[in-house]
Amino acid sequence: MEKENDSSTKTNAIDDSAYSMETHLIYGKNQSTKWDYAHHVVAPLTSSVIFRLDSVERGAEGFSEFAHSDFLKENSRPIYIYDRLGEPNKDLLEENLAYIEKGEMALTFSTGMGAISGILGILTKTGDEIISHRTMYGCTFSLLNNWYPRYQIKNNQVDLTEAENIYKVLSDKTRVVYFESPANPNLDIIDIGAIRKILDEVNAKRGETEKVYIVVDNTFATPYCQRPIELGADFTIHSLTKGIGGFGTDMGGVVIGRKSFYDALVLYRKDFGAVLNTKAAWTVLTYGLPTLPLRISKQIENAQRIAEFLSSHPKIELVNYPGLPSFRFYELAKKQMKDFKGNFAPGSLLFFALKGNSNEEMRELGRKFMNYAAKNAYTMTLAVSLGHTRTLIEHPASMTHSAVPADKLVESGIHPGGIRLACGLENVNDIIKDLERCLSVI
Ligand SMILES: *Cc1c(COP(=O)(O)O)cnc(C)c1O
């Protein structure tokens, strides 16, 4: 009896690599050493911080294996000790996230910011420098510009939509090129392949400890629309709180990338502490990933329609959406943003601004529009975050990007009156009806 229930005695006859990503996201790894699937169909939600060890020797083995992945045999069963070091729900989720992003390994964190702090924490030290795109999420901007200078880590922000701008700030101390594509909130698209090409040339002349790594925040695209590692990135990070989690119930983050960095990253996570909650891991694994293709494909459909509606509206000055042929980065977006079947997948976010005679007037009109929508629109909620079931609008200059000083907004690529719209799953005609009404009154 016992033997029959032991999944290690089963042989995995199914070659899951032959199946599509949509199917894979539902089944995940149908055989995992991280959990015994003899009975459960859905992975159980584990809620145990500690794990019983059979002997002191077994405990010692667990501690010596931890962060020594070279000790681990292929498909060996992990020795779980304490949640902060690793546990089944996170491990199962990590296997699946690595698969979907085409990375060698994935490691989850408590939040997207935890993941960013994790990867930058192991790639940089005092005296090093980072090159980053001028437009990025407000808290990442604050981390790099307010906190890292305390450790003498310098952040050089340039316009990476021109990859050659790297050379303007590159030094012997540069260790990381960091960007989002599409960028939050203005949807700038960065040519990942062009940056790879430059860094391959730079790295060819550098020793192992001096190399420069590419870290791409892929939160806006989600792996459904773009896999940066395939395009040349060394590491991808995500806020799981957004499109991958998808329902706005849990926070999380992940770093996906090179296996040779796994041990350092898991040690860093152990000591700095930003581990993903087991319940959050289970939610993403059970609800987020299996529905990702359905949700994001619907959001793309909605976003495309809304972008077309807004760009033909007389009161609208600007619409940034990667799926609009008039968008500055349309051709590059077509090259980089593709769903699992290779179709153009321009994402679920838009950035737009109302017409006005000055930045101040546009900002004021945007404020009026959002305040009116907050009270009168059924399908648009004034709230931060993105990639959820509901359509969300917000004002980056005064909300998500308030860490960027007002006089730095324009040079950071953020229109002061710009409105960020994150599409949900509603019937798009309802959203357009609400947009039309809100625009008609201001
Ligand atoms: C939200 C967001 C983050 C931070 O994620 P949290 O889970 O909120 O910590 C990082 N990058 C981008 C692009 C985001 O939108």
CA distance 268 to 74: 23
| C-alpha span between 75 and 87 (Å, rounded) | 16
8 inside domain: no
Nearest CA residue ID for atom 11, ligand 1:
137
Which atom of ligand 1 approaches the CA of 386 most closely? 15
Say if residue 302 is in the same domain as residue 346: yes
Instruction: Using 50 as the pLDDT threshold, list the residues of the chain that sit under it.
Output: 1-11
CB-based contact 390:381 (threshold 8 Å): yes
Q: Which of 135, 219, 284, 384 to mutate to test the pocket of ligand 1 (most atoms within 8 A of CB)?
A: 219
Shortest-distance atom of ligand 1 to CA 241: 7
Mutate to test the pocket of ligand 1, among 108, 188, 241 (most ligand atoms within 8 A of CB): 241
pLDDT at position 7: 44
The per-residue pLDDT for 406 is 85
Is the same domain home to 281 and 298?
no
Residues 276 and 351 in one domain: no
For residue 113 and ligand 1, the question of a CB distance below 6 A is answered with yes
Contact 160, 135 (CB under 8 A): no
Query: How many domains would you assign to the chain?
Result: 2
E strand or H helix that includes residue 135: none
Q: Which two tokens stand for residue 165?
A: 């701008």
Instruction: Assess whether 276 and 306 both reside in one domain.
Output: no
253 lines ligand 1 (CB under 6 A): yes
| CATH code for the domain in which residue 267 is found | 3.40.640.10
Which of 231, 257, 287 marks a domain boundary?
287
The answer to whether the predicted template modeling score (pTM) of the entire model surpasses 0.85 is yes
pLDDT at 410: 87
CA–centroid distance, residue 239 to ligand 1 (Å)? 5
The residue out of 287, 307, 323 marking a domain boundary is 287
Q: How far apart are CA 203 and CA 213, in angstroms?
A: 9
pLDDT value for 4: 42
Kindly state whether residues 345 and 255 are assigned to the same domain. no
Distance 136 CA to ligand 1 centre (A): 10
| Rg of the Cα atoms in the chain | 23
137 lines ligand 1 (CB under 6 A): yes
Domain that holds residue 94: 17-287
Q: Is the CB of 251 under 6 A from ligand 1?
A: yes
Would you say the CB of residue 241 lies under 6 angstroms from ligand 1? yes
Nearest CA to ligand 1 atom 8: 112
